[in-house]
Structure 1
């Protein structure tokens, strides 16, 4: 469309409405000579004279009469297309499917409260959770995933993130575990127990193992599973210890989740840093009204579930 100048649409609309070069020039804040040159360009572009002298006035050609019926709506549509979007968003009328990638822990503890929020506000919205085998950003880039929830593990420079809440690691074991029988336990006693670790990546070094390695220690890992929910179930039915995010213990929507599953928690005898749980998405969805609404709903729910950051890990809480 290199030969098309959309500004001519507005000029043509005004000329055919005013039927006067002087009147059109006044409305468009142009000189009469500039308006006259614009009419010449319009005649060349359309192949029609458009306006003809009839005494002291100008009259429309038959083709110009046809154009005058179409031009107002066409001009408004062109202006709307090339202006910033002005959406009136109503969640109640939204009919959309969102694909989310999140860990099993998020789905188990926050899936129901999120569904309740969504259904109350937007009954036409469907949430589809997909497995989270890694932190690859390609599904976000390709539109296979609309929103990811978890730790930011990608280095993709364009990816957008928003902090949902802060989390930290704690230990869990079954009720009545020998480790919890006294007034406390040593780090050596804890490391000598059997542990079930959580990792989706083969041979990955966890935060806990890195902290132990810095102290010249290692824990006795006898099993590795891909999810915290699996690790919690194994700890519940055995003497294995597990390390899970504090958020997996429960929240106001699902209180005492760990205790209800036959588990008790304890502070780790090794210092580990807190970490961020974030919403992650591709920038092409930044201004999408439905996606912006979904992000706000997820954020508000997470802030209600975990209203405060975990305690600062600036000193080692001993279980001795």
Structure 2
């Protein structure tokens, strides 16, 4: 195969087709017609001497060779974008009016961002922060540099992302100060209580929870399973503020990251207690695209996020 015979636009088409596994959606992503996308797929099949995508009862499925090539072609495209992108070498924080777009869970938003905004107001008062939720953003939005940074608790991450741990957090139990359990708070009384489950990791819209699917319930329930216990979950939520509000019911306990629970440390209506069993610490990470890694304004912003995290 002669490199001069390859239309590099086909690599872009390949990348989108492998991501969407749907010709119509891929066409929409690139802003071209469905017939034009179908023609690109036909040309890819001829170039690679491989079907690339095959139709099954469950939709279009990538071939073994296409799956092998996908990360390699993705890296070529990312490296090309990074090499050609313009760098703002004259970035001056005090004068900048840049808008930084962040994806942050409400756990990250309520614990980290107030301190970050306080710091930015002092050093770069004209900068604006656009905060998005995990449901607003995909991995590809971050990878393509459309989102400056994602801050969340992540189970898995693509190898292409840059990342940094902002902090490790333990867990605390939050409940109403008048909850009778406070008279004798131990593992037995904890298990006899009803609970609020809260978690939102990664990206995308959440799916309905099954109380019996321990492996998908996360840190608290996995820790309980290790000692042969399963708590009685009354409410499932993906919002930490909702969980904290529900914990004001003296029949419920919310077991959540300590930095979130301690938002209510001065509220006499709440009680904060250490869990009566061991739960491994969690890590709050920030991740960003390799396309932004060397940009001066992004380097500066990452440094400000780290400074803010050190004071939370």
- The Cα offsets for residues 231-261 of structure 1, whole Å up to 9 and x where unpaired, read as 01001134200011011134xxxxx634427
Distance 1:89 1:271 in 2: 47
Unaligned segments of structure 1, at least 5 residues: 3-80, 251-255, 306-320
Distance 1:304 1:246 in 2: 15
Distance 1:163 1:115 in 2: 19
The verdict on how the C-alpha distance between 1:97 and 1:226 changes in structure 2, with shifts beyond 3 A counting, is same
Q: Please show how residues 187-202 of structure 1 align to structure 2 within 5 Å.
A: 187-200=187-200, 201=206, 202=208
Q: Hey, what does 1:289 align to over in structure 2?
A: 296
- The Cα offsets for residues 267-300 of structure 1, whole Å up to 9 and x where unpaired, read as 1112111121111111111111111111111100
DSSP-derived class of the 2:311 partner: helix
- The Cα offsets for residues 34-88 of structure 1, whole Å up to 9 and x where unpaired, read as xxxxxxxxxxxxxxxxxxxxxxxxxxxxxxxxxxxxxxxxxxxxxxx99x97934
Unaligned segments of structure 2, at least 5 residues: 5-82, 201-205, 210-215
Q: TM-score, normalised by structure 2?
A: 0.64
Q: Report how far residue 135 of structure 1 moved.
A: 8.5
Distance 1:118 1:261 in 2: 31
- Please say if residues 87 and 295 of structure 2, whose CA atoms lie closer than 8 Å, have aligned partners that are also in contact: no
Quick check: which has more Rg, 1 or 2? 1
- Please say if residues 104 and 227 of structure 1, whose CA atoms lie closer than 8 Å, have aligned partners that are also in contact: yes
Could you tell me which of 126, 140, 149 is aligned with 2:142? Answer: 140
The verdict on how the C-alpha distance between 1:235 and 1:206 changes in structure 2, with shifts beyond 3 A counting, is same
Q: Report how far residue 150 of structure 1 moved.
A: 1.9
Q: Report how far residue 155 of structure 1 moved.
A: 2.9
Distance 1:261 1:137 in 2: 41
Distance 1:249 1:217 in 2: 23
DSSP-derived class of the 2:134 partner: coil
Q: Hey, what does 1:229 align to over in structure 2?
A: 241
Q: Hey, what does 1:115 align to over in structure 2?
A: 117
- Moved >4 Å (runs of 4+): none
Q: TM-score, normalised by structure 1?
A: 0.62
Distance 2:190 2:87 in 1: 59
Distance 2:274 2:256 in 1: 11
Distance 2:103 2:139 in 1: 11
Could you tell me which of 200, 210, 214 is aligned with 2:222? Answer: 210
Distance 1:296 1:273 in 2: 27
Q: Report how far residue 128 of structure 1 moved.
A: 0.6
Q: Report how far residue 222 of structure 1 moved.
A: 0.8
- Please say if residues 136 and 154 of structure 1, whose CA atoms lie closer than 8 Å, have aligned partners that are also in contact: no
Aligned residue-pair number: 218
Distance 2:153 2:236 in 1: 20
Q: Hey, what does 1:28 align to over in structure 2?
A: none
Q: Hey, what does 1:274 align to over in structure 2?
A: 281
